[in-house]
Amino acid sequence: MGNQNDNIVLFPKQRKDLESKAFHAMDEKDYLDALKYFDQLIDHGVDDQAIHLGKLTSLIELGEEKDAEELCEELIAKKDENYFSYINLYATLLFQSHKHKAVAQLLEEALIAEDIPAHLKSQFEKLYSVNQPLVNEQIEQEERITIRELTEAFETNDSLAQWHLVNHLQNVDIEPYINLFKDMLKSPEVNPVIKTVIIGLLQAKSIDQEFIIEKFSIEMTIDPSIYPFKNDHPFRKAFRKAMESCEQENPTFCQLCEQLIDRYFYVLYPFTPKLSKLEPFKQAIILIVKSSLDGKKPTYDESDSKEIEGIVNQIIEVEKIYFSIIEE
């Protein structure tokens, strides 16, 4: 919180005067003035728990929840002798704001420490026990809302809503969504990019079930717990290796090729080219990137096969599908 006052030391009388004005304003419930005085003290380098607590109280009374939380985080980050007191204040503030998952995470991390003062440890454990049922209730409520919204987005073919909601599930229990995922993965109406995200969620949680995937009127069945991740697929790894010489000669060009194949995989996965098609795919990717850098449409020499032309056209179509959902 640096400004032009940082290097100006207050004389004891000036500091006492500002403190008196700050706490008198608090007594009068004039929290705006109190905040102004506390800020002046802090800007002049006064680092005192009572001053920080006065500022925090003023922010809370003024309804400046975000600023109050940020101040708590700054005080906690100092890790001074008041560290656990600030944890206690922050946990209480979060609890009052109904941010029960954040309270649980904060207290779980704090309770690992061995040097918590006994009276604060007791308060942490009590708040944690009171908070936990509310965490479960909050999770269940969020789950019900998300399932309802995702079902509605699926039924109305709202691809952007599906995209945002599915990505929202990265760090939650996905078991309640399994049946909905099965329907979405089989539906020809769901964007293939969204299906790729769903497959990634199932793989990350090692869901040991069979799922039917439909993309571009083709179906296949996979078990996410054993199917290779997108970036670890044999074709993807083989392409990466095939581009090693290019990477040494022209890293920027190679990076553009890698991005192109990544987007291609993002749309098509788990449907992937056969390893026997590696060379024509490499040639097609290189042709597209060269043409893009030249600002021209891909052109074909007599040596280019119809196969390469077909792959180029497919990749270009896949790019359109990718960018219909994801912005870069």
- Name the band, by pLDDT with cuts 50, 70 and 90, for residue 156: very high
Q: Omega into 280 within 30° of 0, i.e. cis?
A: no
Give pLDDT tens digits for 197-249.
Answer: 999 999 999 999 999 999 999 999 999 999 999 999 999 999 988 888 776 77
Q: Does the pLDDT value for residue 57 go beyond 90?
A: no
Averaged pLDDT of the chain: 89
Q: Does the pLDDT value for residue 27 go beyond 50?
A: yes
pLDDT of residue 157: 94
Asked whether the CA dihedral 94, 99, 102, 104 is positive or negative, the reply is positive
pLDDT of residue 302: 61
What DSSP assignment string belongs to 31-54? HHHHHHHHHHHHHTT---HHHHHH
Q: Does the pLDDT value for residue 268 go beyond 90?
A: yes
Q: Does the pLDDT value for residue 110 go beyond 50?
A: yes
pLDDT of residue 114: 86
pLDDT of residue 293: 83
Q: What is the mean pLDDT of residues 11-32?
A: 88
- Name the band, by pLDDT with cuts 50, 70 and 90, for residue 307: confident
Q: What is the mean pLDDT of residues 74-81?
A: 89
pTM above 0.85, yes or no: no
pLDDT of residue 147: 95
Which domains occur in the chain, in start order? 12-113 (1.25.40.10), 157-227 (no CATH), 231-323 (1.10.472)
Decide if 242 contacts 278 (C-beta within 8 A).
yes
- Name the band, by pLDDT with cuts 50, 70 and 90, for residue 8: low
Q: Does the pLDDT value for residue 297 go beyond 90?
A: no
- R_g (Cα) of the chain, nearest Å: 29
Q: What is the mean pLDDT of residues 93-109?
A: 92
pLDDT of residue 1: 41
Q: How many CB atoms lie within 10 A of CB 68?
A: 22
Q: Does the pLDDT value for residue 317 go beyond 90?
A: yes
* In the chain, % of residues over pLDDT 70: 94
**Length of the chain in terms of residues written:** 328
Q: What is the mean pLDDT of residues 272-282?
A: 90
Burial of 251 (0-12, 13-18, 19+ CB in 10 A): exposed
- Name the band, by pLDDT with cuts 50, 70 and 90, for residue 299: low
- Name the band, by pLDDT with cuts 50, 70 and 90, for residue 5: very low
- Name the band, by pLDDT with cuts 50, 70 and 90, for residue 267: very high
- Name the band, by pLDDT with cuts 50, 70 and 90, for residue 149: very high
* In the chain, % of residues over pLDDT 90: 55
Q: Does the pLDDT value for residue 328 go beyond 70?
A: no
Buried b (16+ CB within 10 A) or exposed e, 180-193: bbbebbeeeebbbb
Angle at 300 between CA 298 and CA 304, to 5 degrees: 130
Q: What is the mean pLDDT of residues 23-30?
A: 89
Q: Does the pLDDT value for residue 3 go beyond 50?
A: no
Tokens of 309: 């032309």
